[in-house]
Structure formats: structure tokens, C-alpha cells
Amino acid sequence: MQNTVSAEAYVDVRLHVNGTVQALHVDSRVTLLDALRDELALTGTKKGCDQGACGACTVLADGKRVLSCLTLAAQCEGREVTTIEGLAADGRLHPVQDAFIRHDGFQCGYCTPGQIMSAVALLQEGRAGSDEEIREFMSGNLCRCGAYPNIVAAIREVAGRGSE
Amino acid sequence: MRPFEYVRTHDMAAAVALVSADPQAEYLAGGTTELDLVLKDGVLEPGRLIDITRLPLRGITCAEDTLRVGALVTMNELAADPTVSERVPFVREALLAGASPQLRNMATIGGNLLQRTRCRYFRDATVPACNKRAPGSGCAAVRGPARMHAILGASEHCIALHASDLCVALVALDTVVEIQGVDASRSVPLTQFYVLPGDRPDIENVLQHGELITRIRIPLLPVGMRSGYLKVRDRASYEFALTSAAAALLIEDDTIVRARLALGGVGTVPWRALEAEEILHGAPATRRTFRAAAEAALRDPFTVAGTAFKIELAQRTIVRILQEASGVQS
């Protein structure tokens, strides 16, 4: 890689993250994931495969779940980004966060922010109609610890289907 | 990874002019293929990326039994369209069988048509032999371990698979691609949009540099024509197809009046099975007919050791989807 980068290879972008606006001047190649972690110190969003395969970097953009590792920071100008840090309100955990804790929906915890962001979106999409449907629509989030049964249980509970 | 200039524009003519005038420029839409190959694999090295996601190429409209879909409509948006569910349900099935929910929120329909192959040798820049990446360098996949590769339209020059699920249903429907160039626009049937690799696997479709897909036109199925998409894969979800098939059948008095069939997981391009359709047309809707059609579809394969299993698997996939679409089990 070249050590010097021309001015054209940088871009100004205003990132709307969790309700605040941040002005950044970054290399055009910087992904939303790296901008969140390295520029804004929002390290809750995790870098797993960094190649769109594992879902650890899942965030919401304009309310829809996307992979921040395959999104340029520059592409997010004017879009409202929500990360795991933006879920809790007034010091209270989001119901999905609370359910993950009570159902032990993780072991090492590395994939958990992505799992939770994906689960929040899944519930909004109305895709928690059955355990089978939850599994299918959570399939973009891998968990190497294998906490899947407890993740499904947590989502099922928030969906109001209890422990059926 | 080479630095690139990022350009965002709201004007389609400006975008097309920019890319057409600059051989180093490429379009950026959903990014799920482009950024993967640029940032992560280092296989593509554009000097400039033109972000087209703010162009007015969204929206789905329906008129005269044709669905018009803007190139920037996402996979999830198309899957949620009520006309798709009602009149071309196998398009929805194919969409939801592909990628993951996150990727389907990002990936656009235009980008889905233009997605690059998942061939590991193509995506690994340290592999010297890849005719698609470096014309004339050979094909590492033909000699090395290969499994997720094509057996139709393939040759010793290239066995890279076109991995789209959506395009299998679209090619079965005679979808038309609308294209904008600097001076003119044109429409190309999807069945003629892709170019078989031959001895130039680097040429994948009929687009000239700078031409932009603006919209696709999907002809709706006649009422009463039943369709289905079947995808066979190593995992239940979030995995590319080993084989897949999209079928639509219109049956009257146990006779197949009209049939459409296309295959995924086996072709260097989304594969329309015209020979199989000929056998189906006018034939009795029986398992015997379906098997004959399946054999016709796989008559001329090019296999390597790791892909030979796909011949029988693809035939069984065809029989199964024809059984499901027809309701005929024996």
C-alpha cells in the first residue's frame, strides 16, 4: 500500500450515530465499522470476519439491520445509525438485552452485540412467529460458542411467546 | 489495497458520464460484492467509486402484467412486494433463500445481477491462475479442489459459478434488463445479458464500461400458473446452493400446457433449461416426464472430480421442484 494518500482519497462525512452527529474526515476506504470503533470509540460493534459472513458487526441504518463491515462510512452521510450503545434508554436495558442476560444467550459474548442488533430488527420485522422462523431470520449471525438455543429463547420471550 | 476517490452523486447522467469516461471508475451500490472484493480481497482496484445509492432508481410499479423494479430496490424490498408474492411467488422464495437478512437489506437488484462469482480461486489474489481475474493465466479451479463450481457452460478455461438465487427465477421469467449508457439506453433480455465464459471468462455480460442497469422488467405469470424455487445446500440457511431450480407450470387436464425451468448452483450463468422445457410442453404431468426433462437439462455437463455429484443432484432437484409445482408425486 502507498504511504502517501492524495487529498482525493479522503472524504468528509457527518455520521448520525445514536442520536448525535459527528463530523469526520476519513480515508475513503474506512468502513462504517472502523469509523465507529476507531474514530468514535464505539467499540460495542464487533469486528469478526470483517467480510460480511458472521454478523458480529450488525448495526441499524435508518432502522434496518446492515453489516457495518461492508458499508463505507462515506455512504452513511445523512443516515441514522444505531449501535448496541444506542439501545438502552434512560439507563434501562432494551428488552432484548435484558432477555439475553436472563436466558444466558451468550458465552464469550463477542458475537452478542451483533446478535442483539439483529434480534431487535427481527422483532420489528415480525419474524419471530415460531422458533423455526427465528432461526432462519437470525442465520446471518454466527455464534461459535453455540449459544443458539438460548438466543432463540430470549427472542421468543420478547416476542411474547413465553416458553411455549 | 489501493486508495480510491469516493464520489456521491444524485444525478444519473452525471454518474454514467463519470464512469464511462474513466476506465478506473466503478459504480458502488449495496457494496456487498464490490467492497468485499476491493477492501477485503484486493481483487478489484478501482481508482474511483461512484456511489449511486442516492440516484432515483428505486420503486416498484406494476402495469400490463409487468413488474418494473428499480435497480436500487433492495432484495428485502422486492421480497416484501405484494405483487411478487401473488404473481411470481418463486421470485420471493429465491430472494429469501439468498444471503442473510442483513445482506438482503443492503444488496440491490441491479447488483444481484452483477454479483461476482464466489470461486475461491478468483477471490484469492495470491492464486496466479485465474482466467477471469488475469486473462490467459489458466484456471486453478479445474486442477485444484473444487466443489462450489459450475458444470454447465463451463470448460477447462473457467468453472466459476454464478451464485445468484434471484437470477434463476428471473431468467425463467424472461426478465428484461434496462440499461443506460452515455448516449443511449437499451433493453436486453436477461437470457441474453450474460456471456458464457468460453476462452474469455473475464467478460461476464454485455455491459460496456460505464453502462448502468437502471431497472428490470419482470413479466408476471398467468393466473393459475404455479411456481416454486428449491435450493439444495450444505446448511439449512445462509449458504450458497449446491444445486437449485426455479420452475413454473401451467397444467390443464393433467397435461403441461406451459413450463418454465431454470437452474442455479450449476451454471457459469443463471441457467435457463430450454431443452427441458421442450420436453415438458404438451407432455403428461408425470414423474416420468419430469425425469426426462431433468436428464435433458443436464445432457452436456463439464465436470471435475469435485463437481461430478452435481449431475444427479441437479436432476433430482429438477424432478422434486416439478413435483412440488405440479402436485404430481408419481
> For A125-163, what is each residue's pLDDT tens digit?
999 999 999 999 999 999 999 999 999 999 999 999 765
User: Which residue of chain A has the CA closest to B37?
Assistant: A51
Q: Do A125 and B53 touch (CB under 8 A)?
A: no
pLDDT of residue B74: 98
User: Which residue of chain B has the CA closest to A67?
Assistant: B102
Measure in Å the smallest separation between the Cα of A61 and chain B Cα atoms: 10
Q: Check residue B74 and report its DSSP letter.
A: B
Give me the helices (H) in chain B, please: 12-21, 34-35, 75-79, 82-87, 89-97, 101-106, 109-113, 140-143, 166-172, 190-193, 274-280, 287-297, 309-326
Interface check B62 vs A, CB under 8 A: no
Interface check B4 vs A, CB under 8 A: yes
Give the C-alpha separation, B264 to B230, whole Å: 9
Distances (CA, A) of A164 to A134, A138, A157: 14, 19, 9
pLDDT of residue A95: 98
Q: What's the Rg (C-alpha) of chain A? A: 17
Residue A73 and residue A30 in contact, taking contact as beta carbons nearer than 8 Å? yes
Containing B6, the helix (H) or strand (E) segment is: strand B5-8
* pLDDT band, very low/low/confident/very high, at A2 (cuts 50, 70, 90): very low
Q: Do B102 and A55 touch (CB under 8 A)?
A: yes
Interface check B105 vs A, CB under 8 A: yes
Q: Do A28 and B5 touch (CB under 8 A)?
A: yes
Containing A113, the helix (H) or strand (E) segment is: helix A112-125
Chain B residues in contact with A31 (beta carbon < 8 A): 35, 39
Question: Cα dihedral sign for A131, A136, A137, A139?
Answer: positive
Average pLDDT, chain B: 97
Chain B residues in contact with A50 (beta carbon < 8 A): 40
What is the average per-residue pLDDT within B95-113? 98
Interface check B252 vs A, CB under 8 A: no
Counting other chains too, the contacts that B9-14 makes at CB distance below 8 Å and 24 or more residues apart are B9/B50, B9/B51, B9/B52, B9/B54, B9/B55, B10/B54, B10/B55, B10/B56, B11/B55, B12/B52, B12/B55, B12/B56, B12/B57, B12/B180, B12/B212, B12/B214
Q: Do A58 and B105 touch (CB under 8 A)?
A: no
Residue B74 and residue B105 in contact, taking contact as beta carbons nearer than 8 Å? yes
Interface check B25 vs A, CB under 8 A: no
Interface check B286 vs A, CB under 8 A: no
Any residues with CB less than 8 A from the CB of B134 and at least 6 apart, and which? B128
Q: Do B51 and A58 touch (CB under 8 A)?
A: no
Containing A155, the helix (H) or strand (E) segment is: helix A148-158
Interface check B51 vs A, CB under 8 A: yes
What is the average per-residue pLDDT within A73-100? 97
Residues of A near B (Cβ–Cβ under 8 Å) read: 1-2, 5-6, 8-9, 11, 27-29, 31, 50-52, 55, 58, 64-67, 70-72, 74-75, 77, 118, 121-122, 125, 127, 135-137, 139-141
Interface check B275 vs A, CB under 8 A: no
Measure in Å the smallest separation between the Cα of A48 and chain B Cα atoms: 13
Q: Do B40 and A122 touch (CB under 8 A)?
A: no
Q: Which residues pair with B186 in a beta bridge?
A: B179
What is the average per-residue pLDDT within A6-29? 93
* Closest in A6, A27, A75 to B51, CB measured: A75
* pLDDT band, very low/low/confident/very high, at A164 (cuts 50, 70, 90): low
Helix and strand counts by DSSP (H, E) for chain B = 13, 12
What is the average per-residue pLDDT within B225-251? 97
What is the average per-residue pLDDT within B243-247? 98
Q: pLDDT tens for residues B41-75?
A: 999 999 999 999 999 999 999 999 999 999 999 99
Contacts across the A-B interface (CB distance below 8 Å): 90
Chain A residues in contact with B100 (beta carbon < 8 A): 55, 139-141
* pTM > 0.90: yes
pLDDT of residue A5: 56
What is the average per-residue pLDDT within B292-307? 97
Residue B231 and residue B244 in contact, taking contact as beta carbons nearer than 8 Å? yes
Measure in Å the smallest separation between the Cα of A70 and chain B Cα atoms: 6
Distances (CA, A) of A66 to A71, B50, B168, B170: 8, 20, 25, 25
